[in-house]
Amino acid sequence: MGMAATAACHPEPVEAGSPLLDLGGVTKAFQTVVANRDVSLAIRPGEIHAVLGENGAGKSTLMKMIYGVFPPDAGEMRWNGEPVVLTSPAQARKLGIGMVFQHFSLFESLTVAENISLTVPDSVARLAGRIREIGQRFSLPVNPDSLVHSLSVGERQRVEIIRCLLQEPQLIIMDEPTSVLPPSGIPALFDTIRELAAQGCAVLFISHKLEEIRSLCHSATVMRAGEVVATVDPRRASALELAHLMIGREIPHPKRTAPMPGRDPVLELAQLSQPSDDPFGVGLHDLDLRLYPGEIVGIAGISGNGQKELAALLSGEAVLDRRRRDLVRVLGQGCGDMDAKLRRGMGLAFVPEDRNGRGSVPEMTLAENALLTGHAQGMVRRGLIERSRMRAFAETCIREMGVRCTGPEAEARSLSGGNLQKFIMGREIRLKPKVLVAAQPTWGVDVGAAALIRQQLIDLRDSGVGILVISEELDELFEVSDRIHVLFRGRLSPALGRAEATVSTIGDYMTGGFLPRDVTKARVTA
Ligand SMILES: Nc1ncnc2c1ncn2[C@@H]1O[C@H](COP(=O)(O)OP(=O)(O)OP(=O)(O)O)[C@@H](O)[C@H]1O
């Protein structure tokens, strides 16, 4: 198995000229953590400029300052040569700086044009025309009259980009825009970004995917621990060189041996069908799955095909009625009607896709977040919390996962996205579960930390744990899985062994290739 590296296609050279944005010596600290130290960065009109670095390197902090979320403690920002002090995003937008966030802020039950009218002052009818016009100009096809709930993730992202473009920005900041897209949606986004650049717009592009940066960007600022360590032309550097600059050492590659699965499944689904409670959700149909101890089974597929619903039924966030409890079995026991707490008591650990809110409570400290799922690990005795054990457990997760933070008393919300994900994965792995269900285990995590997490999953499997990984990243699934199923429109494909699971078979399954023709009348292509 393996996935061919994306061929680097060399975009047009950057136009010469004076910088649109020029940052000099920018510094920003949060209490004792210096998130940005003496950062300098310049971007010209028409330039696609990557910002890369490990989790916690300071990328988001820098972008937030450019977008006016908070001011720097020191340093200077020049816009078209003039010094500026930004005090709010509204001011940044007025100046010509737009930002497309990872998380979409759209109302499902409103149309595209109605959603945009909430932030762009114009009539819905006129906006519909402007949306079509921008859509054509920048290859962003979307119907202004469509209800947002009927749109794919890629289309929703287009709506966010169009909303940003309607304000005619000269600089657009994109924070990990590809992380929400299925692989098939990425080329279209890149076409749009190249079109933007060709029309003179500057783009700041954050990504952990080095091959993407190499194929798209004209220049790259590499950050490490809050400082700029290099400014390079990523088209002339290999992914390995970029990774080396970023983390300052070689990236370890996960090592795996042949699996030695046990005889009795630790997790089973038997002809499980369940309609979705959510009017915009996906119903599950006839799911059959067996996970044995000592193996990793991957669930591939584009999110929005039942992943959320499957994860909820496995974790116990969604329960079946008592008569159907045997359709979900953990360690041979029917548990479909049990809540999450009871299932955890049986030895099931769970890493949800949503690390804020589900995976952790943002306002609580890391130690308190450790207690939430780890209380059975001797952290509570005779009804009283053993604070020292709670802290020690959190400290172990922080140390062993290399979580960048001020310590176990740091609030979860103060961590960078990738660092919080590392902490949550570390916590669940250290609960010594018998079954682990992990949704998007390395989402937003840098290359070095992703390798660490994948190795830990393999080691956990070698210790006899059954692991189910739900992931949109094929590379990840190829690296860790012993068998792979694909989830498509709420249906699960047959399992593919390592030898059969190729990019082309999985790609075919992702559009329903495993189903009889009558079940999938319209095969999707995107
Ligand atoms: N509001 C805050 N309070 C305290 N510390 C913060 C705050 N925001 C960021 N930090 C700290 O600043 C550092 C840089 O974080 P930042 O989010 O900029 O990193 P990043 O490079 O964007 O990481 P990731 O790739 O994980 O998103 C981290 O150590 C983080 O814990």
Domains of the chain, by residue range, sit at 21-247, 267-347+433-511
**Smallest CA separation from ligand 1 atom 2, residue:** 414
Distance CA 269, CA 297 (A): 13
pLDDT band at 136 (very low <50, low <70, confident <90, very high): confident
Per-residue confidence (pLDDT) for residue 278, from 0 to 100: 75
**Fold matches, 21-247 and 267-347+433-511:** yes
Per-residue confidence (pLDDT) for residue 213, from 0 to 100: 95
Q: Which atom of ligand 1 is nearest to the CA of 53?
A: 21
Spacing, Cα 359 to ligand 1 middle (Å): 18
Distance CA 475, CA 490 (A): 22
pLDDT band at 466 (very low <50, low <70, confident <90, very high): very high
Q: Which residue has the higher pLDDT, 290 or 5?
A: 290
Asked if residue 99 has pLDDT above 90, the reply is: yes
Spacing, Cα 491 to ligand 1 middle (Å): 39
Least reliable range by pLDDT among 80-84, 175-179, 357-361? 357-361
Q: Which atom of ligand 1 is nearest to the CA of 62?
A: 18
Asked if residue 2 has pLDDT above 60, the reply is: no
Arithmetic mean of pLDDT, 384-395? 88
Per-residue confidence (pLDDT) for residue 230, from 0 to 100: 95
Per-residue confidence (pLDDT) for residue 16, from 0 to 100: 62
**Smallest CA separation from ligand 1 atom 19, residue:** 56
Domain 21-247, classified CATH 3.40.50.300, yes or no? yes
Q: Which residue has the higher pLDDT, 523 or 424?
A: 424
Q: Which residue has the higher pLDDT, 10 or 243?
A: 243
Arithmetic mean of pLDDT, 287-313? 93
Arithmetic mean of pLDDT, 338-356? 89
Q: Left if phi > 0, otherwise alpha if psi is -120 to 50, otherwise beta: which for 81?
A: left
Arithmetic mean of pLDDT, 196-209? 94
Spacing, Cα 86 to ligand 1 middle (Å): 20
Arithmetic mean of pLDDT, 97-120? 89
CA angle 160, 164, 169 (to 5 degrees): 155
Is residue 35 within 6 Å of ligand 1 at its C-beta?
Answer: yes
Per-residue confidence (pLDDT) for residue 157, from 0 to 100: 87
Per-residue confidence (pLDDT) for residue 518, from 0 to 100: 61
What are the b/e assignments for 159-187, b being 16+ CB within 10 Å? Answer: bbbbbbbbeebbbbbbbbbbbbbbbebbe
Arithmetic mean of pLDDT, 243-251? 83
pLDDT band at 303 (very low <50, low <70, confident <90, very high): confident
Per-residue confidence (pLDDT) for residue 424, from 0 to 100: 93
Per-residue confidence (pLDDT) for residue 519, from 0 to 100: 57
Is residue 445 within 6 Å of ligand 1 at its C-beta?
Answer: no
- The DSSP code sequence of 182-207 is -GGGHHHHHHHHHHHHHTT-EEEEE-
Distance CA 471, CA 495 (A): 15
Q: How far from 310 is each of 84, 162, 248, 319, 354, CA to CA, in Å?
A: 49, 32, 39, 11, 14
The dotted CATH code for 267-347+433-511 is 3.40.50.300
